[in-house]
Amino acid sequence: MSHFATRLTAAAAAVVLGGALLAQSPAAAAATAPAVVAPAAATAAPQFKAVVYYQKHIRRGGYTTYKIKVTNKGYEGQAYALLAGSFPAGTRKIKVISKPRSITCGVEDRAFGCWIASLDNGDTTTMTVRAWLSPSKRGTYTAQFGVSYADSPDADVDELIDEMRFTKFKSKVV
């Protein structure tokens, strides 16, 4: 991830303590493919799993939707997670279109961050993010998502972002 994209993601995550996120239509969900985001290694074994459903083909000037499911896979007790994402040049707008009330999101330029306030062992939460493309965007559209977690709501967002490993999701613009 470029330095600029990392800083945008960090800024969005800082805004997380008061923002918004997007959702995917059922028709688009049928044409999507699942992918897994690797969580940051805050402990010896990763405890959080994020699965991303997205469209493999996008129309120029149209939009794409990402449905993200974050699951606590074995972290005992109450945990807090940070989900962050960044989008490439050629993105006109990003919006969080569906999320639970307990999740706070922020969008800034081409990046977003969502603070998941409480996720107990075995719990799953789902969010939907939509990105609109400029009409001049061609070729490959690559979005990046990452998840990191902490055991305290007062965790340092910058440290969580530093621990985060981002996974790329590529779509073809037709």
Q: Which residue's structure tokens are 């999320």?
A: 99
> What is the rounded average pLDDT of the residues 12-30?
41
Selected residue with higher pLDDT from 22 and 1: 1
As a whole number, the mean pLDDT across the chain is 78
Selected residue with higher pLDDT from 41 and 137: 137
Q: Are strands 79-86 and 139-150 parallel, antiparallel or unpaired?
A: antiparallel
Fold of 3-173: Immunoglobulin-like (2.60.40)
pLDDT of residue 159: 84
Q: How far apart are CA 35 and CA 29, in angstroms?
A: 13
- pTM here? 0.72
Token pair listed for 20: 């918004």
pLDDT of residue 102: 85
CA distances from 74 to 29, 49, 131 (A): 28, 10, 32
pLDDT band at 74 (very low <50, low <70, confident <90, very high): confident
Asked if residue 53 lies in contact with residue 161, where contact means CB atoms within 8 angstroms, the answer is no
pLDDT of residue 61: 92
CA 83 to chain centre: 5
Asked if residue 116 lies in contact with residue 127, where contact means CB atoms within 8 angstroms, the answer is no
pLDDT of residue 166: 87
What are the contacts of 3-6 at 24+ separation with CB within 8 A?
A: 5/86, 5/110, 5/111, 5/144, 6/161
pLDDT band at 174 (very low <50, low <70, confident <90, very high): confident
Helix (H, G, I), strand (E, B) or coil at 86: strand
Q: What percent of the chain has pLDDT over 70?
A: 74
Q: Which of 20-29, 60-69, 107-116 has the lowest mean pLDDT?
A: 20-29
